Amino acid sequence: MRIGITCYPTYGGSGAVATELGLELARRGHEVHFVSYASPFRLRGFAPRVTFHEVVTTDYPLFEHSPYALALAVKQHEVAQREKLEIMHVHYAIPHAATAWLAKQMLRPERDLKVVTTLHGTDITLVGQDPSYYTLTKFSIEQSDAVTAVSRYLRDETYRAFGCVDCDVRVISNFISPAEYHPPRDGSCRGALAPADHKILTHVSNFRPVKRVVDVVRVFASVCKAMPATLVLIGDGPERDAAEHEADRLGLGEDVRFLGKVDDVAELLRGSDLFLLPSETESFGLAALEAMACGVPVIASAVGGLPEVIAQGETGFLAPVGAVDAMAAEAAAILSDPARHARMRSAAARRALDFSAERIVPQYEALYRDVLNG
């Protein structure tokens, strides 16, 4: 098949999953064409059967804001026409599903480009429900040839938010590549992250308010009272300053390390003992899955799609949003019990294999075939 993929190229779960999906599809022999304003951050170097097409916008004094969505629709149309694409798979409803529909109309009647839309979370729970975008989001979903959601929670939220959406939303989970995300085999980078006697707690996100990074620091501060520990924070965003100030206020000093944006987090996860994700909401929780795949138990909020990923008491611990004390107490209990910690490490790695690329990507291939066969 010849497939186009449009996603946001910056740090975030939707872009990561879209890119990994494209790479896996290419490994399976499909031709994949990424269309976006920048190369996706996980698209590193050359990959056979993968091509990136950049959307270039025009600055014009009449436009207060450059009309990226229109330029994207034109580029999707051009690429679909030139490369004879059969499917345009867009990730995140706004504006990608709308622009793909425009590209589809411009190709008619000569060709029928199929549009597959994958919903990832805030495109439904936040942006899509804003009055400025609601009707367009609903229209774009209903006009797609197929729609998927990354969790049962998000599928149900889509139906709730948009009423009688005239389509069937299929759940296809996010996934990991076991070749990249796996438990430690020959040592790890622990020595470069913390002193030998420290437990290492990790958090990875885009540091948006919904991630509650300040809660991460507060949970860690309580754990520090029970044992020597280091907190490793990976990523960047608007809440980084607040997290840094909280770490300073609590006197955590060099025990908190802000690494900023890191392209390859798997090795850092393999050097960790526990992963913290106390988010306000998570449509799936890809960062939690990646940690589990590396054999790291997860302390997280019991929200959104996280209960579909984390088995309570087996691969991690789920608590109400903002329950810092409960999260800290459970984190300390896990880390102070070597036998329990080892059992949870093994269970986390096994559970993550249920979301391996080998199991999930064929579901997308089957969906594509269904769409092409009408």
Q: Is residue 180 part of a domain?
A: no
How far apart are alpha carbons 178 and 290 in whole angstroms? 9
pLDDT, position 11: 62
Residues 285, 154 share a domain: no
Whether 108 shows a pLDDT value over 90: the answer reads: no
CB of 229 closer than 8 Å to CB of 201 = yes
Q: Sign (positive/negative) of CA torsion 207, 209, 210, 211?
A: positive
Task: Give the CATH number, domain containing residue 87.
Answer: 3.40.50.2000
How far apart are alpha carbons 188 and 200 in whole angstroms? 12
Residues 119, 46 share a domain: yes
Residues 230, 154 share a domain: no
Are β-strands 256-260 and 114-119 bridged in parallel, bridged antiparallel, or unpaired? unpaired
How far apart are alpha carbons 306 and 289 in whole angstroms? 9
Residues 170, 52 share a domain: yes
Consecutive H or E run containing 87: strand 87-91
Residues 245, 136 share a domain: no
* Averaged pLDDT score across all residues of the chain: 90
Q: What's the one-letter identity of residue 1?
A: M
Contacts of 190 (CB under 8 A, 6+ apart): 196, 200, 271
pLDDT, position 146: 94
Residues 336, 196 share a domain: yes
Which residue's structure tokens are 């990976």? 234
The residue ranking higher by pLDDT, 117 or 185, is 117
Conformational region of residue 12, where left means phi above 0, alpha means psi within -120 to 50, and beta covers everything else: left
pLDDT, position 166: 63
Residues 236, 162 share a domain: no
Residues 139, 86 share a domain: yes
pTM as predicted: 0.89
Among 47-51, 55-59, 178-182, 313-317, the least confident range: 55-59
Q: Is residue 260 part of a domain?
A: yes
DSSP-assigned letters across all residues of 40-63? -TT--S--TTEEEEE------TT-
Question: Per-residue pLDDT tens for 188-221?
Answer: 777 788 888 999 999 999 899 999 999 999 999 9
pLDDT, position 132: 76
DSSP-assigned letters across all residues of 278-347? --S--SS-HHHHHHHHTT--EEEES-TTHHHHS-BTTTEEEE-TT-HHHHHHHHHHHHT-HHHHHHHHHH
pLDDT, position 330: 97
Q: Is residue 181 part of a domain?
A: no
pLDDT, position 58: 74
The residue ranking higher by pLDDT, 347 or 18, is 347
pLDDT, position 64: 63
Per the structure, the complete domain to which residue 279 belongs is given by 190-355
pLDDT, position 232: 96
pLDDT, position 138: 87
Residues 159, 21 share a domain: yes
Question: Per-residue pLDDT tens for 219-236?
Answer: 999 999 999 999 999 999
Residues 201, 109 share a domain: no
Q: Is residue 28 part of a domain?
A: yes
pLDDT, position 302: 96
How far apart are alpha carbons 320 and 279 in whole angstroms? 10
Q: For residue 25, give the nearest of 290, 362, 359 by alpha carbon.
A: 362
Question: Per-residue pLDDT tens for 26-44?
Answer: 999 999 999 987 777 777 7
Q: Is residue 182 part of a domain?
A: no
pLDDT, position 65: 65
Q: Is residue 185 part of a domain?
A: no
Q: Is residue 249 part of a domain?
A: yes
Instruction: Using a pLDDT cut of 90, give the percent of the chain over it.
Output: 70
Question: Per-residue pLDDT tens for 123-165?
Answer: 666 655 667 778 888 888 899 999 999 999 999 988 888 875 5
Residues 342, 368 share a domain: no
What is the count of structural domains for the chain? 2
The residue ranking higher by pLDDT, 344 or 263, is 344
- Burial string for 158-168 (b: 16+ CB within 10 Å, else e) reads beeebeeeebe
Q: Is residue 183 part of a domain?
A: no
Residues 198, 162 share a domain: no
Which range, 34-38, 164-168, 177-181, has the best average confidence (pLDDT)? 177-181
